[in-house]
């Protein structure tokens, strides 16, 4: 087995990893990538993309049950879960194949297997316990990602207790479902199953669902989900599960009281754990904090020549953050002069439930905690012509400004297509615009994006349509 040399090697072919490899190739580096499963990683194969395919199906199902609102005769809408899953998997396969094409296009060598640090500037690659290659390189980027965290005593079995992977490929639709955790993953699956007619209960240990979002957005979402028929137990803890042949009884404690809830299936969505095992970190100067590799502002670990990006390197656990980290890391390695560290305050977060949720920057509470005197603007979708025409009046936009400087500290949105609109505020924050530039920006009419303009105006008492 001949030793092979590269300028840079990426361990992990997820969004951060494959983007880092592409950027390295663009900058003239001889690049390799090692992937043990599927190019595209969790995001393309078992996360961001296939879940959006599923959610699109549930949105269509919702619309089919409300066609009379748009002048159509009522229809009897039925679905085939096998076909729904098949479409989702086809979408994932298409994109994973697209990444493989990009690797060939950029002349990136792909190794199928697992990689482990094996001495200075060395990686050992194996597949099914058999050696594949010994690789030498001065620069190694670790992009091994993360996996679902499991609660002790409530480990997923794939039949009664599911992780996100199991929830994406159900062999049959359950009649009832309990979701543990109300972050983006938990809420998206809760929304998907609810909109396909499943009785859904969400249990969140913290006082409110979607705890990273602004409190007003969280409260709005809570009311919207309950109106749709979802049962939400916030400030509640799961104390145990008891499995039967084809059901699970979950003991939930809240406010000192305990109740048993019996459902067909349980989804555990209580966070992630970094994939730090088996990659040879032992004996290096690389530090691990709560299963995530510690890095500096340019993704460098404590070991010279070794870097970490994406979910492995800590929050926010988002594919677009991983991609941008990959670019920053590689450009710094290449010696480019204009490389800027990641500003996590400018990274948008999106949750693709119904209604959608998107945000960037500080919540109102966080801004006040940081010592800012704030001006806050709000605008409801019911005041927007396009939203009314679309039948999507459930939503609102909230903006938070520094009262003294006019800096946009944060923006928070809930409603139809807000995941597509949030980028307007992200660009504004990146360009360090103030309320003046945003007020002077002309928004097209009629669009839902006009609500963004109105929410800025409202922060300064100038809203035009409320």
Residue positions annotated with a catalytic role: 445
Convert 150-169 to b/e letters by CB count within 10 Å (16 or more is b): eeeebebeeebbbbbbbbbb
Q: What is the dihedral of CA 156, 161, 164, 166, to 10 degrees?
A: 90
Q: Give CA–CA dist 300/79, Å, rounded.
A: 49
Largest CA distance in the chain: 72
CB distance 97 to 106 below 8 Å: no
Q: In degrees rounded to 5, what are phi and psi of residue 82?
A: -65, -40
Is the bond preceding 316 in cis, omega lying within 30 degrees of 0?
yes
Give the Cα separation of 298 and 31 in Å (integer): 19
Query: How far is Cα 133 from Cα 2, in angstroms, rounded to an integer?
Result: 7
β-bridge mates for residue 232, sequence order: 202
Distance CA 160, CA 267 (A): 9
């Amino acid at each position: 087995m001949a030793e092979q040399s590269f300028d840079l090697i990426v361990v992990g072919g997820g969004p951060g990893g494959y983007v880092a490899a592409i950027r390295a190739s663009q900058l003239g580096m001889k690049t390799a990538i090692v992937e043990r499963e599927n190019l595209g990683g969790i995001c393309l194969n078992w996360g961001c993309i296939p879940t959006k395919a599923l959610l699109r199906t549930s949105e269509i199902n919702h619309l089919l049950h409300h066609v009379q609102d748009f002048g159509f005769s009522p229809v009897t809408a039925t679905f085939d879960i096998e076909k729904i899953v098949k479409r989702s998997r086809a979408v994932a396969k298409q994109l994973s194949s697209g990444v493989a094409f990009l690797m060939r296009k950029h002349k990136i060598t792909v190794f199928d297997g697992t990689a482990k640090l094996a001495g200075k500037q060395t990686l050992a690659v194996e597949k099914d316990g058999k050696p594949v290659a010994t690789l030498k390189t001065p620069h190694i980027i670790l992009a091994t990602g993360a996996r679902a965290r499991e609660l002790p005593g409530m480990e997923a079995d794939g039949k009664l207790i599911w992780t996100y992977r199991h929830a994406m490929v159900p062999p049959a639709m359950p009649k009832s479902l309990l979701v543990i955790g109300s972050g983006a993953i938990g809420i998206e699956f809760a929304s998907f199953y609810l909109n396909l007619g499943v009785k859904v209960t969400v249990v969140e240990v913290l006082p409110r669902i979607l705890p990273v979002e602004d409190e007003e957005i969280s409260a709005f979402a809570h009311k919207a989900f309950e109106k749709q028929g979802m049962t939400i137990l916030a400030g509640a803890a799961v104390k145990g599960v008891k499995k039967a042949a084809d059901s699970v009884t979950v003991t939930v404690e809240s406010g000192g009281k305990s109740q048993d809830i019996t459902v067909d299936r349980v989804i555990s969505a209580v966070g992630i754990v970094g994939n730090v095992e088996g990659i040879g970190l032992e004996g290096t100067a690389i530090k691990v904090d709560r299963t995530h590799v510690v890095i500096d502002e340019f993704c460098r670990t404590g070991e010279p020549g070794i870097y970490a990006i994406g979910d492995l390197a800590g929050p926010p656990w988002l594919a677009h953050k991983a991609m941008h980290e990959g670019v920053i890391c590689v450009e710094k390695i290449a010696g480019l002069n204009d490389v800027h560290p990641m500003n996590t305050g400018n990274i948008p977060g999106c949750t693709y439930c119904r209604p959608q949720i998107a945000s960037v920057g500080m919540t109102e509470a966080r801004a006040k905690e940081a010592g800012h005197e704030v001006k806050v603007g709000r605008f409801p979708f019911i005041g927007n012509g396009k939203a009314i025409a679309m039948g999507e009046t459930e939503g609102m936009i909230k903006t938070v400004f520094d009262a003294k400087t006019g800096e946009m500290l944060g923006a928070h949105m809930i409603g139809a297509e807000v995941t597509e609109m949030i980028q307007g505020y992200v660009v504004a924050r990146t360009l360090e615009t103030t309320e003046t530039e945003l007020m002077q920006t002309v928004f097209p009419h009629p669009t839902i994006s006009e609500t963004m303009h109105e929410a800025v105006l409202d922060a300064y008492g100038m809203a035009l349509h409320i």
